[in-house]
Amino acid sequence: MICFPNAKINLGLHIISKRKDGYHDVETCMVPIPINDALEIILSKKAVFETSGLDIPGEEKDNLILKAVKILRKDFNDLPDLHIHLHKNIPMGAGLGGGSADGAFALTLMNTLFELHLEDWILEDYASQLGSDCPFFIQNTPKIATGRGEILEPVDVNIQGDHIVLIKPPIHVGTKEAYAGIKPQKPKFQLREILSDKSSWKEMLVNDFEASIFPQYPELAEIKAKLYEMGAYYAAMSGSGSTVFGLFTAKPEPRSWPSGYFVFESVV
């Protein structure tokens, strides 16, 4: 069986407070976007995990797909061996949630493959053990996320039919680095209220990470400014970076970007 894990963007991201468990309480809106990896899982006589496409850093045992298999095996220890192939297309360390999507989609794919009949709330519980962003990709619809990012509520955000441009320069922003410059604070306005009026997004829809990351990486701020010059009605960094995206009501004119940039444009 094969599926196509997709990326997400963050529409606004508030870092509200530091938690006792070392994480942060956040408020953000996550929206799926049409840039995809490809994941195939089939039954096999021996366990195989292979990848193609973009190089995946780190050790194989830390891959969220294999962690998803391990989590399911704790409760379903008679699952057979699997041959897993991941074709990686979504950039990593980009704030797009590609790894989280791979892990969550692996859970849903195995749920179908093995006919486990697990409901979404159970799959979301498994996904929360993989990472804070992972539960979002189970239902894979626009959600406001709070807590560590695992508490999800539906939200009416309609960007379907709009155009999105993703720009990722060859810059890696680590999660620890991103949080190091953050001063948690309660937002002045509720995110749900801001999201209800697109005309306010440019002025009011804020990613708190930009205040600390842009001074360190002025190139990201320049990309955001250029997306507005191209006619975006909203532009921001996604998550903790380093992808910057622009949303457009109509297809923007092509622009030349420096060599080494990852560039993606599509209708949402």
Residues marked as catalytic: 8, 133
Burial readout 147-172 (b: 16 or more C-beta within 10 A, e: otherwise): bbbbbbeebebebeebbbbbbbbebe
Whole-angstrom distance, CA of residue 146 vs CA of residue 27: 5
With beta carbons less than 8 A apart as the criterion, state whether 4 and 37 touch. Answer: yes
C-alpha closest to that of 60 among 72, 47, 73: 47
Amino acid at the residue 249:
T
Residues forming beta bridges with residue 36, ordered by sequence position: 6
Dig out the tokens for 20 from the structure: 């006792």
Query: At 157, phi and psi to the nearest 5?
Result: -125, 120
User: Three-class SS of residue 172?
Assistant: coil
C-alpha closest to that of 159 among 14, 252, 31: 31
Q: How many CA atoms lie within 13 A of 110 on its CB side?
A: 25
Say what the alpha-carbon torsion angle 257, 258, 264, 265 is, to the nearest 10 degrees: 0
211: left (phi over 0), alpha (psi -120 to 50) or beta: alpha
Spell out the residues 6+ positions from residue 81 whose beta carbon is closer than 8 angstroms to its own: 43, 44, 45, 46, 47
